[in-house]
Amino acid sequence: MARTSSDKIPLPLIRNMDTIATMVEEGQVFGVSNVTIGTGITPVTGGYVATTPSFTFRNLGNKVMVPLFAKFYQTGTVADVRIAVHVSTLETGQFTSGTALTAYNRNQWSSNAATVSPFHTSTLPAFTTGNQRLRYTASIFQTVTAANADIDLFPEPGFTMVRPSGQLDIWTIGSTSAPTWFFSMEWAELDV
């Protein structure tokens, strides 16, 4: 990732990337999953629309957000043979609305609260030119009879960082209909 003169390298990330458990113990790792156990979330229908990501993470604090894991699998009948995944960041967050998800600290004894606000079925305004950066994209092919595997939406822990006031958006797009997801996503929040 290109750096600007105002960027700082978060030293805890460099020190602890091989030991995510250490960051959990320190209360720096947060997660989000389905609102109701056994109930999936159905985001975007049909094709890609730039202003309607499936999930949005707004970094409202003064820490760097580092995406770690995103596991998804479909509930019920599989939506499509092919699902496209796009993950992008915005240097300056843009957000109109969305359904809030409750972020939880992976260390249940930590008093640290998340400074990143997660949403599903989001709506964004038109992007400011040059603000959005595509960080990862993939296509998933599967059988159409049943959801038969989980899907990793992030290529690896720490594949990108989201600066304070920035945003991370995820699109999961069926070629003809929307998938319904069970999901678990985690991220670290590190001092800069």
Measure Cα distances from 131 to 40, 51, 93, 134, 166 in Å.
31, 14, 9, 10, 10
Residues near 38 by beta carbon (within 8 Å), at least 6 away in sequence: none
Strands, sheet with 167-174, edge to edge from the N-terminal-most edge strand: 97-100, 116-123, 55-59, 167-174, 82-90, 132-141
pLDDT at residue 37 in the model: 86
Whether the predicted pLDDT of 71 surpasses 70: yes
Whether the predicted pLDDT of 1 surpasses 60: no
Tens-place pLDDT, residues 95-121: 889 999 999 999 999 999 999 999 998
Whether the predicted pLDDT of 148 surpasses 60: no
Backbone angles phi, psi at 139, to 5 degrees: -120, 140
pLDDT at residue 133 in the model: 87
Coil, strand or helix at 14: helix
Question: What stretch of H or E contains 12?
Answer: helix 11-16
Whether the predicted pLDDT of 167 surpasses 50: yes
Confidence of residue 127 (pLDDT cuts 50, 70, 90): low
Coil, strand or helix at 70: strand
Query: What integer best gives the mean pLDDT of the chain?
Result: 82
What share of the chain in percent tops pLDDT 70? 80
Tens-place pLDDT, residues 43-69: 766 677 888 899 999 999 999 999 999
Residues near 9 by beta carbon (within 8 Å), at least 6 away in sequence: none
